[in-house]
Structure 1
Amino acid sequence: MNQDLKPHAIFIAYPLQGHVNPSVHLARKLAENGFTITFINTQYVHHECSRARGNKDDDIFVDARQSGLDIRYVTISDGLPVAFDRSLNHDQFMAALLHVFSAHAEEAVENILKSGESVNCLIADTFFVWPAKVAKKFGLLYISYWTETALVFSQYYHMDLLRMNSHYDCLDARHEPIDYIPGVKSIEPKDMTSFLQATDTTTVCHQIIHKAFEDVRGADIVLCNTVYELESDTISALQSKIPFLAIGPIIPFGITKNIVPTSLWAESDCTQWLDTKPHGSVLYVSFGSYAHLRKTDLVEIANGLLDSNVSFVWVLRPDIVSSNDLNPLPSGFVDEMGDRGMIIKWCSQMHVLRHPAIGGFLSHCGWNSVMESVWSERPLLCFPLYTDQFTNRKLVVDDWKIGINLSDRRIVTSVEVSEKVNRLMDGKSSSKLRDSIKHLKQILASALESDGSSEKNVERFKSHVNAMILQKSKTIIENKMI
């Protein structure tokens, strides 16, 4: 890239673990492709990441800069005190992001520009409600970063169609399949995101979604953490309306620790324990960084794991049920588990998934987890909890056939957990799942080759940004001449 055209992007990550991770990885990828990045994190996320690393309060991109990448780092308030319990007070946290955070973000952008930095574009998570306005105010290109699937983006983008057809935001929602969203095959209402299945659409999260998908229509480009070949029809339909580029999967690929530390909890290393287990014999269990399990479900899952006689590593983050319930496991569970199981608070997920002892993944079906599971070739047992996870479950089980539903009913039972864990881990019955996931892994890997669809789209993105920068410079010069 011509040094004179080296774009400088301010990148603002949504302050949730599942959004920070792909944002950090994309920031690094863009820096590797010639961008200057000023990455804005919240003080809370920075504080938790620092505490997870033993109170190392340094810049999370120190190692990246030492490797030659031009990434700067800024922290700002999300509108709440650092010590405020965001997990316990979810709605207050979301309200702060809706009403207060934009003022801190706008001030940070203005300060960066006032310092004399030449900045060309603002990259911000699609779930923010303000980037188009801020980008326009400061004359920046607005790049929206969507960290989920194109299928979920399309559902939100077409909320007007869902309303018009009485599938959303109405008193008596229809239960018939949805077959009118452009580029989307018929989808059952139960497979839409949880927010679009909700009867109460006045919540703070719904307010965020409605405003965010008004705002995204002002984006110059939308970058999506997916692969074109996985969602070609949906992506092509979106591209007829907005500049939409699939650049995924944006995930860490090595089995060593990630260079950019992003975990909000201290990571445990269970390698030595896994080394003692036969290949493919251990189930990895994690329900992600954000959604909560009902205690009744957690108890059934725990008892089902015991009954299955399968070895397991279970990531049980401290607030999995509630930050007010720090010991949600059934009485006697740990003693009965013995050496067959290992309970940890958090880990480097990719590192664990790629260990030879891991044979499957009991997952909430967060999009990062699905992509990491595919990359590691570990079939999934699906128990979605929240937001996009229901749509991801449909892709995993129905479309790609790389996983099994844990529960087709609302209430999960220990008997069903035990039976389906054994089905997932049994070599004979799961062979089709493993064949399918190997094929899907190849699609991801091919997209990241130099001539692959995602790498080409990164090049297209750079070219689009440079063309816009040149056009903007030309317009400024012409206006001065007039």
Structure 2
Amino acid sequence: MSKFIHQTLPHHHHHAIIIPCPFQGHINPAIHLSLRLASIGFKITFINTQFIHSQITKAHSSEPGPGPESNNIFSKARESGLDIHYITIYDGFPLDFDRNMNSLPFLEGLINGFVDHVDELVGKLIEKDDSINCLVADTFFVWPSIIAMKYNMVHVSFFTEPALVFALYYHLHLLQQKGHFGSHENRKDIVDYIPGVKSIKSSDLPSLFQNSVVHQLIYKAFQDVRKADIIIANTVQELEPETITSIQEKHSFYAIGPIVSANFTDLTIPSSLWSEIDCTQWLDAKPHGSVLYVSFGSVALVNKEDILELAHGLMLSEVNFVWVLRFNFLGQDEKSILPDGFEGKVKDRGLIVPWCNQMKVISHSAIGGFLSHCGWNSVVESIWCGVPLICSPLVTDQLANRKLVVYDWKVGINLRDGESITREEVRDKIKYLMNEEISSNLRKTIAQVKETFYSALATNGSSNVNFNKFVEELTMKISLVREH
């Protein structure tokens, strides 16, 4: 039962459409935001793509009780009294189209064709129910302001990453002008001209692969976000004060994070795109803080050479580990990726799984560290559980997230000191992190940042206060829209 259900529900005349980007790291925060808004009386219509829904259904089909097989991942939430409706939308590609192996054509479709399907669906929804007055859309969509304006809705842009990344993407034009992005110069100097960002190394800027499609997506999305009525972000005021203040000089921007499954609701909503292996029994048999969790997230862009060095480093470190390794993403099978005899050599201390419930694993008392790609959800969840990080960022925002983790907040260490990973570096960094005595300062710091997270969500905490201010402004803007 949701812990918010028994509050008064003052916003029962408000009806919001919520639509996340069709990627695991964007869907989970959108689900928790939906539950939070529904718990204070909002009527919610949550839209997933048909492909995402089919993935969730397949992943959870063997689970007992009401789930996505009923065509509503929110069935338990509805049973508890929350007014959440769930529908799916065609994304422009057949269900059997491999969106990961063909990521660039898929992104092109999200940029150019998806808006037509959204327009058609929203039009039909509003024909049936004219109470819809708010659109909460992921910041990485390029069309929300067009749809919101056409159907007379308040436009809330939901940014699922930190304010630092928002500021960098927002000022992409400055990075281009100065030659730090899209230039043949390949500049390596410090960037110190982004409003709200004191300084950042070129190596910590989000990588866009110099790719025209990804660049086009981000550029268009951050043109569109300028027209949003309100922006909300999955970050914490106290941890990024200068950056947030700078954004607030231009926009109505609220830091309402951390948005993790442990804080907004007690309800479990099926959202994983892959079947989860339960690691609990294996972890229960391991000593407190003795296990390293290794995962590179849902879009694993790790090459074979790095996998081999990681595997050798894990063997050399002699620590216990759980390693999430999705071989299908690498286009190869397990035997051709891992070193000969790897599983035999680590069988008593290593568990390799294709996917798991990350929060369930890293909140287990046996976990003492997290070797991560620094996806924002992973960073947030690791801090929430007080687990220090070894950072090995791969692409996009992960490089800037590492800056926050390693250099600003000092809750993790960097793995990639050179261009590539070496097994010796992997071994040494793991041994450092997993030795509680040697890494005691890191552990004290993450305990403090964890406390900042928890405090932000307390009754008078910054994120809770900001959430209430956001709802207040949203309510006011909905009233103005109605009047017109």
Shorter-chain TM range is over 0.9
Structure 1 residue 431, shift from structure 2 partner? 0.4
Task: Identify the residue that residue 142 of structure 1 maps to in structure 2.
Answer: 155
Q: Distance in 2 between matches of 1:426 and 1:236?
A: 38
1:253 aligns with 2:259: no
% identity of equivalent residues: 50
Give the structure 2 partner of residue 47 of structure 1. Answer: 54
Deviation at 1:338, TM superposition (A): 1.0
Q: Give the aligned partner of residue 394 of structure 1.
A: 403
Cα pair 2:276 2:357 within 8 Å, conserved:
yes
1:229 maps to 2:238: yes
Amino acid paired to 2:219: H
Residue number in structure 1 paired with 2:310:
301
Which residue of the partner structure matches residue 3 of structure 2?
Answer: none
| Equivalences for residues 274-423 of structure 1 within 5 A | 274-322=283-331, 324-325=332-333, 327=335, 328-423=337-432
SS of the residue 2:135 aligns to:
strand
Q: 1:22 aligns with which of 29, 32, 45?
A: 29
CA distance in structure 2 between the partners assigned to 1:283 and 1:268 by the alignment: 17
CA distance in 2, matches of 1:378, 1:47: 33
- How far did 1:230 drift? 0.6
2:229 to 220, 235, 243: 220
Partner of 2:142: 129
User: Which letter maps to 1:371?
Assistant: V
**Counterpart amino acid of 1:126?**
T
Per the alignment, residue 88 of structure 1 pairs with 101
Is the 8 Å Cα contact of residues 321 and 351 (structure 2) preserved in structure 1?
A: yes
- In 1, the alpha carbon distance for the partners of 2:186 and 2:347 equals 48
Counterpart Cα distance in 2 of 1:133 and 1:28: 26
Q: Contact 2:154–2:481 (CA<8 Å) still a contact in 1?
A: no
Deviation of the 1:325 alpha carbon: 4.5
Gaps of 5+ in 1: 477-482
Query: What letter matches 1:139 in structure 2?
Result: N
Rounded Cα–Cα distance in structure 1 between residues aligned with 2:429 and 2:329? 22
Judged with a 3 Å threshold, the aligned counterparts in structure 2 of structure 1 residues 122 and 326 are, in CA distance, closer, same or farther, namely farther
In the alignment, the residues of structure 2 paired with residue 108 and residue 278 of structure 1 have an alpha-carbon distance, to the nearest angstrom, of 52
Cα offset, 1:317, TM superposition: 2.1
Moved more, 162-171 or 355-364: 162-171
Question: Residue 75 of structure 1 corresponds to which residue in structure 2?
Answer: 88
Q: Which residue of 1 aligns with 2:5?
A: none
| Amino acid aligned to 1:253 | A
Secondary structure of the corresponding residue to residue 120 of structure 1: strand
Any conservation in 1 of the 2:12–2:43 contact (CA below 8 Å)?
Answer: no
Partner SS, residue 213 of structure 1: helix
Shift of residue 329, structure 1, vs aligned partner: 2.0
User: In the alignment, is the contact (CA less than 8 A) between 1:304 and 1:414 conserved in 2?
Assistant: yes
> 2-side partners of 1:418 and 1:226: how far apart?
32
Residues 173/4 of structure 1: CA separation in 2 closer, same or farther (3 Å cut): closer
- The equivalent residue for 1:35 is 42
User: 1: CA distance between counterparts of 2:324 and 2:416?
Assistant: 20
Equivalent position SS for 1:339 = coil
Note the C-alpha offset of 1:82.
0.9
Deviations 1:256-284 (A, max 9, x none): 99611110110111111111110000101
Q: Is the 8 A contact 2:189 2:202 kept in 1?
A: yes
Which residue number corresponds to residue 57 of structure 1? 69
2:127 counterpart of 1:114:
yes
Q: Is 310-319 or 126-135 further displaced after alignment?
A: 310-319
Contact 2:45 2:85 (8 Å CA) reproduced: yes
TM-score, normalised to structure 1, is: 0.94
Work out whether residues 87 and 319 of structure 1, in 8 Å CA contact, stay in contact via their aligned partners in 2.
no
Q: Which amino acid aligns with 2:372?
A: S
Amino acid at match of 1:57: E
* TM-superposition CA deviations, 1:92-147 (whole Å, max 9, x none): 21111111211111111111101124111101000001010011000111110000
Q: Deviation digits for residues 289-310 of structure 1, max 9, x if unmatched? A: 0131001000110111011110
Q: Give yes or no for the alignment of 1:163 onto 2:172.
A: no
Q: Does 1:447 align with 2:447?
A: no
Q: Give TM-score scaled by structure 2 length.
A: 0.94
* 382-391 vs 325-334, which moves further: 325-334
8 Å CA contact 1:291–1:386 kept in 2: the answer is no
Distance 1:130 1:325, change over 3 A: farther
CA contact (8 A) 2:11 2:41 kept: no
Q: 1:276 to 1:460 in 2, by over 3 A?
A: same
Confirm or deny: 8 A CA contact 2:145 2:228 kept in the other structure. yes
**CA RMSD between the two structures:** 1.6
Structure 2 vs 1, CA of residues 334 and 4 (structure 1 numbering), >3 Å: closer, same or farther? Answer: closer
**Deviation, structure 1 residue 331:** 2.4
Equivalences for residues 167-178 of structure 1 within 5 A: 167-178=180-191
Match of 2:65 in 1: none
| Matching residue of 2:282 | 273
Q: Which amino acid aligns with 1:75?
A: T
How big is the shift at 1:158? 0.8
3-state secondary structure, aligned to 1:63 = helix
3-state SS of paired residue (1:260): coil
Letter in 1 for 2:354: K
CA distance in 1, matches of 2:168, 2:43: 33
Correspondence 1:4-15 to 2 at 5 A: 6-15=13-22
The answer to whether the 8 A contact 1:5-1:466 is kept is no
For each residue in 1:165-212, what CA deviation from the matched residue of structure 2 results, as whole angstroms up to 9, or x when unmatched?
Answer: 2222223243221111111111111101012xx4x352x111111110
Shift of the 257–4 alpha-carbon distance from structure 1 to 2, 3 Å rule, reads closer
Partners of 1:358 and 1:5 in 2: CA distance? 42
Distance 2:240 2:444 in 1: 20
**Against the structure 1 CA distance between its residues 135 and 125, is the aligned structure 2 distance closer, same or farther, given a 3 Å change threshold?**
same
Deviations 1:354-402 (A, max 9, x none): 1111100010011100010001110001110111110111111111111
Give the aligned residue type for 2:386.
E
Judge which range, 175-184 or 229-238, deviates more: 175-184
Alpha-carbon distance between aligned partners in 1 of 2:391 and 2:293, rounded to the nearest angstrom:
12
Q: SS in structure 2 opposite 1:20? A: helix
1:432 corresponds to 2:441:
yes
Q: Contact 1:7–1:465 at 8 Å: present in 2 too?
A: no
Letter paired with 1:125:
D
User: One-letter code of the match for 1:67?
Assistant: S
Q: Which amino acid aligns with 2:284?
A: D
